[in-house]
Amino acid sequence: MDSFALKLLASFLVGGAWISLTTIAAERLGPRLGGWLGGLPSTVVVAMLFIGWTQGDQAVFEATTAFPLTMAVNAVYLIAFAVLSRRSLTAAVTGALLVWAALQALVVMADPHDFGWAIGGWALGLVAGTWILRRLAPPAQDVAARLTFSPREIVGRAAFGGAVISLAVLLSKIGGPLFGSVFASFPAVFTSTLWIAARSAGLDFSRSLLTPLMVSAVFSVVVYAAALRFAIGPLGLLGASGAAYGISLVSAGLTYLFLHTHRT
């Protein structure tokens, strides 16, 4: 097995474990705190680390260019879930993923090269998405659901998360940084969290996670990517990743205060 294949396998194992543990912890803590924790940078952290490890720091820098715009698509994913969840959980997840795929295809065709333009699109998506979700989704409550996880569910979500991470690394190498950016923003944590929460505690509980996920994830994850972009030159991959995660934790703390103050 060549070195890239070994690194790809490592990305699958590390990414799967990270996402599985993150989502389980988020679902144990109730809608507001759990939604906030589920929105912390996860997929993008592991994906960018392995893109950098396999292809170098420049590939990470280039992958962050369009990332805010690809992350803005996740705001539409959450809105689609809110609308379609009135029909069924399957319709909500399937429809939201189809909407996500269609919009990401448009991003790929547009092939944005301007980070400022991508930030502008992200900011518009964040503000509009939060406004819409606060009218579509029930407010979060400070109540933790008693969620149970079978070994099969834990392994399944780890495999799902690992597959997303390794696909981001592989497609970044084959198709270029834009494809890596698209799959680094894949809503793996959103999907598994919303699915398991709905199956265990009902669709209303799952829908109450939507606004906290929007405010926390769509904001804090882009803060991470932006910090990584500007820090990777002087600090290198590991130093920049650590610094960016620290900055994103500060931003996540601010979003939690926002959620708590506004009872979102």
Q: What is the pLDDT of residues 211-242, one digit of tens each?
A: 877 877 788 899 999 999 999 999 999 999 99
> Which spans in 111-201 are helix H?
115-136, 151-175, 177-184, 188-201
CB distance 53 to 202 below 8 Å: no
Q: Is 176 helix (H, G, I), strand (E, B) or coil?
A: coil
Nearest Cα to Cα of residue 19 among 138, 178, 191, 148: 191
Kindly indicate the confidence band of residue 143, based on its pLDDT and cuts at 50, 70 and 90. Answer: very low
Both tokens of 151, joined, read 């070994």
* Cβ burial 74-94 (10 Å sphere, 16+ → b, else e): bbbbbbbbbbbbeeebeebbe
Mean per-residue pLDDT over the chain, rounded: 82
Q: Tokens for 192, please give them.
A: 């598994």
Predicted pLDDT of residue 80? 95
Average of pLDDT values for 111-121? 92
For residues 38 and 170, the model is more confident at 170
Query: The whole model's pTM is what?
Result: 0.81
pLDDT at 73 over 70: yes
The sign of the torsion formed by the CA atoms of 34, 142, 197, 258 equals negative
Least confident range from 95-109, 158-172, 203-217, 239-253: namely 158-172
